[in-house]
Amino acid sequence: MHLHYCETPGGNFGDDMNLWFWDDVMPGWREMQPDTTLSGIGNLINRSMLSNHAKTLVCGSGAGYGALPKTGMDNVTFAWVRGPRTAEVLGLDARVAITDGACLVADLPRFADRGEHRADTIFVPHRLTARLALNWDAIGQRAGLEVVLPQDDAVSVINRIREARLVIAESMHGAIIADAFRVPWIPVAISHHFNSFKWQDWADSMEVDLHMNEALRLPRNAYFLLRNQRQKLQKFRRDRKKQNMKSKKPTEPFENPNYLDKNEREGVKNLISQVAPLVERLLARDLRRVTRQRPSLSSDVVLASRKDAIRHCIDSVSNVS
């Protein structure tokens, strides 16, 4: 069996853990079904991925990016998916929705020697937020927390999460790993990269009432207000010139209204780099405020039931092979 995961330039621990996670939880999987591709941890389910492999076995992947298949998926076996929203948009039985497979990470032998929790609060940004030209050490010092960058080695990031007192997470897998180790976590949305569909999909799977906090809200909203109004005006002018307009394509259930194309992303990054000291102060202020909010944690009973369900799916896959 082959592995499909998101190979992020520069690294991202939530994706990179696929490289050893499946060896730990499903020994021998590489020798199973040689003509099949394993789709594991990540937002991997979309039309492009499913059409690029002759046979695909989905083990906990979720939707959230890219167009969905419009026709049958006869070449795909869904052992389980990340959450009920993924199951719904794919038209799958609700019983296939369990949760993200990374919830098993706390049971892996490589993390058995667990130290005591430190007194530290840590912040794990989204992988693209982490690549902004900002002084993360200065932000952490001002906010009174430790910044853990998601592009660091996956095992190292996970160890720092499991030893924390509290995790502030813009990275969804920062929250998932914290929850697995029973470390309270607080979600925060900072940039336009934040994907509400995938967060709610996972939160629903764990029966967590998600209370999303925001940082840099005013500058972000001001930027998109001006950007979106400009685009509406441009569209209005274009439409007036068209006599026969084509019908608008259906909106994807997880479409990001604040999507930026490559050129605009680069423009925003350059703008942030020019005013980095101001952004750092504002972000530190907002993160300090977020640390005072009520943290989240799924119940022990729900977590245990999800892990049992995933293990049952893994056993079923292994027995078939």
pTM attached to this predicted model: 0.87
Rg from Cα positions in the chain = 21
On the question of pLDDT at 63 being above 80, the answer is yes
**For 251-292, what is each residue's pLDDT tens digit?**
566 666 666 777 777 777 787 888 889 999 999 999 999 999
Structure tokens at 296: 């989240």
What domains sit in the chain, N to C, each tagged with a CATH number? 2-106+302-320 (no CATH), 113-216+273-298 (3.40.50)
Of 106, 140, 109, 107, which Cα lies nearest the Cα of 122? 140
**For 154-194, what is each residue's pLDDT tens digit?**
999 999 999 999 999 999 999 999 999 999 999 999 977 77
Q: What is the largest CA-CA distance in the chain?
A: 69
Of 214, 152, 126, 202, which Cα lies nearest the Cα of 13? 152
Distance of CA 273 to the CA centre of its chain: 25
